[in-house]
Amino acid sequence: MIAWYYFTFLVSSTGTVLMNSQEVIKKIYFPKLILPFSKIFVGLVDLIISLILLLILMIIVGFTPPINLVFLPLFVILNIITGMSIGIWLCALTVRYRDFHHFIPYLVSFSIWLTPVFYPGSIIPPDYFYYIYINPMAGVIAGYRWCLLGDVLPSVKYIIGAIPVIFLFITGLYYFNRIEGRIVDII
């Protein structure tokens, strides 16, 4: 759940950051891409506090965190890139289509059922496991489980889900930079 909350925070807050910062954007000039990327650090504080509390609770109940914990920063970075790839697109689209920010909470709420957050990915029949592999957050959550709980090492097939994330991230940055000069006029 910790990984999912961070992802939803990034998507939701990044998607609406320009609409929420209209007054600042109109008064001074600065690179507008700073606003979405600032949400990474705001959410990262919550993530770190949650992880520290989780580790303390694990130690209190007698569960020793596995050595895989050293790989957790890698999955945190993947979590950030996944959330920002969707968030930057939503941020740019909410400037152009103002009512689009109403869609963001529903998108985030629905996507939790497509990602093995509440259930382990191992209960999905093998015929349908391909759908889990194309979900980029499924690999991130499997990585968190591996690092924190000592679950099974995530399959290499989860890399399939990273391809659309990289594509969305690069194209989102390109589109955002393309409309950045007109953001003040549109808002």
Average pLDDT of the segment spanning 118-146: 83
52-65, pLDDT tens digit by residue?
Answer: 999 999 999 998 88
147-182, pLDDT tens digit by residue?
Answer: 998 888 888 888 888 888 899 899 988 988 887 777
pLDDT at 5 over 90: yes
Count of CB atoms situated within 10 Å of the CB of 30 = 9
80-121, pLDDT tens digit by residue?
Answer: 999 999 888 888 888 777 777 777 778 888 888 888 888 877
Is pTM beyond 0.85? Reply is: yes
How far is it, in rounded angstroms, from Cα 50 to Cα 52?
A: 5
pLDDT at 187 over 70: no
Tell me the average pLDDT of the chain: 85
pLDDT at 183 over 80: no
* Lowest mean pLDDT, pick from 24-33, 46-55, 154-163: 24-33
**Domain boundaries defined on the chain:** 2-186
